[in-house]
Amino acid sequence: MSSAFRQRRSGQFRTLIILVVAIGALLIALVGMPGGGKSTVGRQLARRLDWSFVDADAVIEERLGESIRAFFEREGEEAFRLLEERVIDELTRDPQPRVIATGGGACLRDANRRALHERCTVVYLRSTPEELFRRLRHDTQRPLLQVGDPLSRLRDLFAVRDPLYRECAHFIVETGRPSVSTLVNMVLMQLELAGVVPAHLAHSPVEPPRR
């Protein structure tokens, strides 16, 4: 590991610790492509931390009184993104310790990326288009994937969004094919290394930590 890399990582850890002190309570936000596991991992992560969990898309649907797909089809993407931006702003201003699962397109807007990066510790759950296609090929509830060639669509979305997720994130976790509990442990270990969460939370409650 180069000296420059160590210095960069050390600086990142100090920034995250300063962030925790500055906002008085830690917010962890998960970003990534549709089907990347943000909601599933987020719920288990919140349970391990004994924090609350909020799904930004669920908040939007509650306010709309209908599904995102129905609103998307009637009002269009721009109207949805405006509402999403307001919800992201509100969720990231709430000082209650919580884990936030964002929608797959939340990072498309500069305002959302700034709010998430500056107010939260952001973890990018990174999945390849091929992995996502395997998980989502039978999903009919995601508006942007209701096309003739969803794999090609996922590849196009990934090409645009991957750099934006990276810009927004403090940490990147490659999802691959691990179990949800393994992914949660991977996230917790990243946060423990940064000094953001206590060390004992980075280990599975079933498997003892390795000596």
Whether 163 shows a pLDDT value over 70: the answer reads: yes
Residue 18: band (very low, low, confident or very high) from pLDDT cuts 50, 70, 90: very low
**63 alpha carbon, distance to own chain's centre:** 21
Per DSSP, the residues of 20-83 read HHHHSS-EEEEE-STTSSHHHHHHHHHHHHT-EEEEHHHHHHHHHTS-HHHHHHHH-HHHHHHH
Read off φ and ψ for residue 204, nearest 5 degrees.
-60, 140
Question: Looking at the whole model, is its pTM more than 0.75?
Answer: yes
Place of tokens 């994130």: 169
Most confident option among 24-38, 48-62, 146-160: 48-62
pLDDT tens digit string along 34-49? Answer: 889 999 999 999 999 9
Q: How many residues does the chain have?
A: 211
pLDDT tens digit string along 67-109? Answer: 998 998 899 999 999 999 999 999 999 888 999 999 999 999 9
**Count of other CB atoms within 10 angstroms of residue 23:** 15
User: What average pLDDT does range 156-172 have in this prediction?
Assistant: 96
Whether 25 shows a pLDDT value over 90: the answer reads: no
Residue 196: band (very low, low, confident or very high) from pLDDT cuts 50, 70, 90: confident
More confident residue, 158 or 7: 158
What is the identity of the amino acid at 146?
Answer: Q
Decide: helix, strand or coil at residue 51: coil
